[in-house]
Every structure is written in structure tokens, then in C-alpha cells.
Amino acid sequence: MIPRRPTEIILLAVIVLVISVQLNYLLEVRTAIPLQDDWSYLQNMFRAIDTHRVGAWVFDSTNGHFVVPSALAYLFSSSYLSLDLSPLRLLNFPLCLAVFFLVAHVINREVRSRFLRFYLYTGTCFIIFNLCFWEHLALGGGFGAILSVLFGGIALYYISKGTQPGANWKSTLLIGLLFLVASVLSLGAGYAAAAAALALLALIGLKKLAASRPMPRYRTVISGLTCLVGFLAIVAHPFFHLTGRVIKAIYHFVLLAGSTGSSFLDKGSLTAQNVAFACGIIVIVASLLMGFGFLTSPNSLNRLLPIFSLALVLFGIAGCVAVAIGRAYLPTSEFLNSRYTLYPSLCLLGILLNFAQSKRFLLTHIWCLIAASYLLDTAREQQMGFFRMQLYQRMEVAIRNSDTLSDEQLRAALHWRENTKGVQRVIARMRYERSNLFRSAPDSR
């Protein structure tokens, strides 16, 4: 990663700037208080401590998601940091760095051109250090989502590596399986990683089967299926007035696939949905081109990069499908929520790496799309950061004076309507233990 030419130096400077922007945002836009889901986790943690069931709580699943690292982090913060959640939020930065260096390792192994390496480093940096998934950066336990994606990506890397000729596939697949388990225990992204691993192995098996024995009209069938999927994605738009649960799920899936492209817009607006739909179509078409190229290219199994990039795309698609089906009850605008932008980011990352092999025209355009998305999303979030700090300050005042507020006033102040009584219990516990905002308060015990 040491630059030698002026263009490489410029690209490296951009990388450093992008990384610095995220770090600066994390340092400036943060608070010690719990936010949103933090309240529920802390309430359950205090209940587990009082009933001596901490172990059961750590491995408990909420809506099918294990959050073991986040639960351990909450316990650590309660025991050693007076329940200050700011350090937990800062964990996102080293995790993003770890994701970046994992991808850079693959690029260094598979790409020979030095300029292309730095070009890919920069595109990867735009995706990983994008502030479009700010909600994960804001929650105390939000780092678990990025950690789950990191473990899932490492698992797919080892599984992809195990398919290479001459590789010790047993040990690499075992390592991949262990990281899959770690990903599942970190958050629900592990399930999407497992689905991606199965789909990847199935596609590799299909490709080897087609190479070992003649399959009549193999390319024709693959082309037809590719066009059919693309056609269904397009006609799912409400413009065509098609109804049904399947069509609705497909529309939500397309919105999720393009949600990073509309993060700079108000998610409740029709413009945001149309922009997300257009970006989603681009991502889906690019993914289909990848899959078609992988199945029809004779040399796609001989290198790690095409397999790993396809695995990342499958990872992202599996996550989008899971959210579209599992959250079918949500309003349409909620599918543009920042907490769901990790999966389309994985798709973009896989597409970027895949197009680096030979499709330079497509690589340039997808790189520009990623750069534009980064600039728009990050610029908007930087502007919103000032207002978020004002919001956090108002929340701190509400927490300090929670005894004088009604339930409805507390809901409005904290922007959390799910469990006000639980919030009151957590605040009372923090006041009793002199933790979080009450660390400097007189002893009330």
C-alpha cells in the first residue's frame, strides 16, 4: 500500500481523508446515554443481574438475533465504565478498519496493477467508511452489526479460499464454519452469511457439473433466468400497479438493494423511494451480470477474487431478501432505514471487486456511483451531526429530570415509544448506582 506515483499518492490521500472523516464524526457526534434499542438491552441486563441469570441473558436471542458481543460489552461498561456507552460506539472505527484491511489483503493477492489496487482501495474505503449506516454508529451495541458482517466476510473468505485448487479445503472450511458461528452469535447477519455460503457452494457445484458433462442449452437457460429476475425486479415498481405479496416483497427487496443511494434524502419522500429503486435496479443488474459471468466463464474457479466477490454479493442479497420477507409488516419507507444499508454495501463491495478483473468500463461507472453515494450520504450526515448533538443534549436533560415528565413526554424526548416503563426502571437504576449521567450526583443510596 506504499504509493510511488502521483496518482497513487492522491488516491492514498483520499483514503486517509475518508477514514479521518468517519473517526472525527465518531469522536464529535456521540453521547454516553442509551439510545433506542439500548434501553431494552439494559433493562434486560439489570433484570438478569438481579435474578442471577446473566449467562442466559448473554446468549438470549431477540427476534431471532443473538447479540453476544454487544451483551458482553454492556456488562463490561456497567462494571468498569460506569455505564458510559461512548467507548462502545468508538469500537465501530477499528472494526471498519479491520474490514478494510481484509478486503485490501484480497486485493493485494489478486490484483497486479498498482494503480488498480489503489483505485480499488479508494472505492472500498468509500463503501466501508460511509456514514449512510449512521444508526449502527450511534447505538451503544451497534458495533455488533459491523462485527457480525466482519465475521461473516472472513467466513466467506475462507470458504472461497477452500475451493481453490491445491488448498487444504477441510481446514479452511472448518475455519470458515467457526467464523460463521461467530457471525451468527454477533447478530443476524450471520444467517445471511450462512445462506450466501450455501448458495456459493451450490453455484460452484453447478458450474463443475456443467463442465464435467454436457448440459443442453445451459447458457440459454442461465440467460433466460437472468432476464426473468431482472424483469420481475423492474415490474415490481408501483407504477405498473401489480399487487400481491410476492410483488410487494420484490419491490421492498429492490428498495433495500438501492438504499445506500438514497440515504441523503428524506426516507419518507417519494423521491427517495424512486432513487432507491433506480439504484437497486443497477445493483441487481450488476449482480446478475456477475452471476452469469461466473457460471459461463471457463476460468472463474481458478482465482480467488471472482469467487470471493460473488460470495460478498450473495451475502448482501441474502440479507436484503431476509429483511424484505422478515420485515414485510413495516411501512415501505422503513426499508430505507440506515440500519439496513449494510447489506447493499456488501453488494456494492462485491461488484467493485468483480469488475476489477476485466470489465474496466463497468468498474469505472460503479466506482463513480459509489463515490457519489459516499459524498452525498456523508455530507448530509455531517450536516445532521450538529443537530444530533443538540438532540442528545435535550435527551440528557430529559433523563436527568425523568421524574417530572409524563410517559408521553419521555417518549417524545427520547424518540423511543416501545417501553417507557422499562426506560424509567433503567434511569432509576442508573441514578441508584450513580452511573452514566448520574456519576457525579450525590450518593442517594
Of residues 240 and 218, which shows the higher confidence score? Answer: 240
Per-residue pLDDT reduced to its tens digit, 28-66: 998 999 998 899 999 999 999 999 999 999 998 877 789
Amino acid, single-letter form, for residue 110: E
CB distance 286 to 346 below 8 Å: no
Distance CA 61, CA 372 (A): 37
Helix (H) and strand (E) counts in the chain = 19, 2
Q: What is the pLDDT of residue 1?
A: 65
Alpha carbon of residue 320 to chain centroid: 10
**Closest by Cα among 137, 157, 155 to 146:** 137
List the end-to-end C-alpha distance of the chain, in Å, as a whole number: 56
pLDDT in the model for residue 4? 79
Residue with cell 478494510: 100
Task: Report yes or no: 347 and 317 within 8 Å, Cβ to Cβ.
Answer: yes
Q: Are 145 and 136 in contact (CB under 8 A)?
A: yes
Grid cell at residue 360? 474496466
Q: State pLDDT tens for residues 103-125.
A: 999 999 889 888 999 999 999 99
* Contact (Cβ atoms closer than 8 angstroms) between residue 219 and residue 296: yes
Contact 229, 246 (CB under 8 A): no
Q: Which residue has the cell 466467506?
A: 156
Bridge partners (DSSP) of residue 61 are 66
List the beta bridge partners of residue 66.
61
Cβ atoms of 169 and 163 within 8 Å: the answer is: yes
Please state the φ and ψ torsions of residue 52, each to the nearest 5 degrees: 60, 45
| CA 265 centroid distance within chain | 19
Burial class (CB in 10 A: 0-12, 13-18, 19+), 151: buried
Question: Between these two residues, 166 and 319, which has the higher pLDDT value?
Answer: 319
144 and 296 Cβ atoms separated by less than 8 Å: no
**425 SS3 class:** helix
150/188: higher pLDDT = 150
What average pLDDT does this structure show over 134-154?
A: 93
CB distance 341 to 214 below 8 Å = no
Q: Decide if pLDDT at 220 tops 60.
A: yes
The chain-wide mean pLDDT, for the chain, equals 90
For residue 260, pLDDT over 50 is answered with yes
- How many degrees, rounded to 5, is the angle at CA 340 between CA 19 and CA 102? 40
Backbone angles phi, psi at 331, to 5 degrees: -60, 155
Contact call for residues 369 and 292 (beta carbons, < 8 A)? no
Give the Cα separation of 422 and 444 in Å (integer): 21
Give the chain's length: 445
Residue 235 has pLDDT above 60, yes or no: yes
The confidence score (pLDDT) of residue 192 equals: 94
**Rounded CA gap, 140 and 37, in Å?**
9
Categorize the per-residue pLDDT at 14 as very low, low, confident or very high, splitting at 50, 70 and 90.
very high
Question: 328, 260 in Cβ contact below 8 A?
Answer: no
Phi, psi of 66 (to 5 degrees): -85, 145
Residues contacting residue 249 through CB under 8 Å, at least 6 positions apart: 324, 325, 328
- Helical axes 143-162 vs 189-212, angle rounded to 10°: 20
Place of cell 450520504: 377
Using pLDDT thresholds of 50, 70 and 90, give the confidence band for residue 442: low
pLDDT of residue 222 exceeding 50, the answer is: yes
Decide if 154 contacts 102 (C-beta within 8 A): yes
pLDDT at 300: 77
How is 322-356 classified by DSSP, letter by letter? HHHHHTTTS-GGGGG-GGGTHHHHHHHHHHHHHHT
| Ramachandran quadrant class, 52 (left: phi over 0; alpha: psi -120 to 50; beta: rest) | left
